[in-house]
Structure 1
Amino acid sequence: MSTSAPRRGRQAADEPGFTSLVDNPPELVRSGRKHGPGLIILAIIPVTAFILGTWQVQRLKWKTELLAKCEDRIVREPLPLPPRVDPDAIVDFDYRRVWTEGHFRHDQEMLIGPRMREGEQGYMVVTPLEREGGEGSTVLVNRGWISKKVMDQSKRPDSLPTGKVRVSGLLREPWKKNMFTPDNKPERGEFYFPDVRQMAALTGSQPVWIEQTMDPDYFQVMDFETRGIPIGRPAEVNIRNNHAQYIFTWYGLSIATSIMFWLVVKKPPTDIARRVRMNKSW
């Protein structure tokens, strides 16, 4: 008696157009979103830094021209200060050397500070200078720095000349207060920054500011400090010019972030970020 093997049913592999999953190569794809909002921010940074660097180039040109003008004014012969000065014209004479004569009004003296000098705390002495041009010809003179130890006038009689004096110095544009400086309190005699117009109104002076100058002689400076005589500033331009440093910083940031942006965009997917997309075409 003969026995035959059971007949198996027809399988999918028997179809002539069958393709197995093994035969069909998997497709490698990146999982998740390809780029997020962080990439947009990273793209904005180098553009913004480049714009700021270009702006600093323009600022450097402007500051260089301003320094050249001020240095040219400071080397010229001093001009006699006229009895009346147009406050709006001072900007065209900033750092111009001038001289004038008059009597100091020590009863209207104002101390601005604190101000540090070589590690010691002190004040700037501002005194109205009453001139012979009649009423309204008084100007404000920044006589220089004194130590806090002699802020009381009774401790520095040598700093209070009573006769006619000749003042030589720099005509300066009114100061600008920064956001970190507190407001003056003139009713209490407290001044933290030289508000020229405010001080002129308090003393009946013109809003004209002269910085008295002196040659930087070490022994004379020591003598003045001991006797409480205000130490004037040297006749030099002290305008800060850091724009070249800012240009390097902004352009450097633009280049660095541009490289980071390119690396992020061109970075290949990692093994963890890959998956096999299931092929359902069979």
Structure 2
Amino acid sequence: MWQVGRRQWKVQQIKEREAGLQGEPINILQSSEKLKEYQRVICEGELKHERSILVGPRPRSVMGTTQSGYVLVTPLVNDQWSRGVLINRGWVPASWKTDSQMQASGLPMGKVQIIGVTRNSEDRSSFVPDNDPAKGEWYWLDVPALAKAAGLPPDTDLVQVISEGQGSVARTSAPTSMELMAMRTRTSTPQEQYPLPRTVKDLMTFSVMPYDHRNYALTWFSLAGATALLALRAGRLKK
């Protein structure tokens, strides 16, 4: 049954994603090979905040309340390696556009080190408008187009920042990527600071998990069995 096959495919996807997320980070700016999606990477350079792009809207649900916002994408360049990457820094509220105080706490200057995972372009559904770079309107993550708009080559990689949330990379003595992105210290308050990166736990959650495929398969098997019994009973009644 196709649901059984889908479950096996999803289990394999999870295993491959886990392997990439849990491995030692590769310096993406020094790597000459094309990395797979969800490969854990590290990169150093300077964030060009003036060339940042907001992609959205991307609503976020908090305690039953929906907040409007965007995904913040910023180019990072490293003159030593003569190349750069796009950084998906995470979610920011809609007020980020006009709140200079909010922005000031999330615009680290100078050299930063970021740990994240490689990501591909999103699959645009028929309900999502196409991007309009000329007007600065971005609705979905089209990596080549975003790279061009940010002044980088179209084959530039996209790195999604990952935080120190549950199930993520272990803490080291150095500041974490999330702390660097939000200029946090170990004495910071629990109040949210933006951008908000994704956690590894978030990246391991699929809209349909393997147990869902298993339940679908069991449901179909049950329905098929019940239909067969009804057909058999109907055949006997006609005799």
TM-score (norm 1): 0.64
Structure 2 residue aligned with 1:233: 198
Query: Which structure 2 residues correspond to residues 8-23 of structure 1 after superposition, within 5 A?
Result: none
Q: How far apart in 1 are the matches of 2:41 and 2:189? A: 22
Given that 2:120 and 2:143 are in contact with CA atoms closer than 8 Å, whether structure 1 keeps it comes out as no
Structure 2 residue aligned with 1:154: 100
Query: Which structure 2 residues correspond to residues 21-60 of structure 1 after superposition, within 5 A?
Result: 54-60=1-7
Q: Choose from 96, 115, 139 the match for 1:168.
A: 115
Q: Residue 85 of structure 1: CA displacement?
A: 5.0
Structure 1 residue aligned with 2:138: 191
Q: Residue 61 of structure 1: CA displacement?
A: 1.2
Q: Residue 143 of structure 1: CA displacement?
A: 0.4
Given that 1:113 and 1:192 are in contact with CA atoms closer than 8 Å, whether structure 2 keeps it comes out as yes
Q: How far apart in 2 are the matches of 1:238 and 1:220? A: 28
Q: Residue 82 of structure 1: CA displacement?
A: 3.0
Instruction: Select the structure with the greater relative contact order (CA < 8 A; seq sep ≥ 6).
Output: 1
The one-letter amino acid of 1:216's match is G
Structure 2 residue aligned with 1:95: 38
Q: Choose from 244, 247, 256 the match for 2:214.
A: 244
Q: Residue 123 of structure 1: CA displacement?
A: 1.0
Given that 1:140 and 1:210 are in contact with CA atoms closer than 8 Å, whether structure 2 keeps it comes out as yes
Structure 1 residue aligned with 2:126: 179
Q: How far apart in 2 are the matches of 1:195 and 1:221? A: 35
Structure 2 residue aligned with 1:116: 59
Q: How far apart in 2 are the matches of 1:71 and 1:154? A: 38
Q: How far apart in 1 are the matches of 2:53 and 2:86? A: 10
Larger radius of gyration: 1
1:210-260: per-residue Cα shift (whole Å, max 9, x none)? 11111239x9685343xxx20111123424223223322332332333344
Q: Choose from 196, 201, 211 the match for 2:160.
A: 211
Structure 1 residues 180 and 261: CA distance shift in structure 2, 3 A: farther
Structure 1 residues 254 and 179: CA distance shift in structure 2, 3 A: farther
5+ residue gaps, structure 1, are 1-53, 270-282
Structure 1 residue aligned with 2:181: none
Matched, 1:143 2:89: yes
Given that 1:140 and 1:208 are in contact with CA atoms closer than 8 Å, whether structure 2 keeps it comes out as yes
Q: How far apart in 2 are the matches of 1:144 and 1:196? A: 15
Q: How far apart in 2 are the matches of 1:183 and 1:221? A: 39
Structure 1 residues 65 and 214: CA distance shift in structure 2, 3 A: same
Q: Residue 64 of structure 1: CA displacement?
A: 0.8
5+ residue gaps, structure 2, are 167-186
Q: Residue 121 of structure 1: CA displacement?
A: 1.6
Q: Residue 77 of structure 1: CA displacement?
A: 2.4
TM-score (norm 2): 0.75
Identity of aligned residues (%): 29
Given that 2:57 and 2:68 are in contact with CA atoms closer than 8 Å, whether structure 1 keeps it comes out as yes
Q: How far apart in 1 are the matches of 2:148 and 2:230? A: 57
Q: Residue 268 of structure 1: CA displacement?
A: 4.0
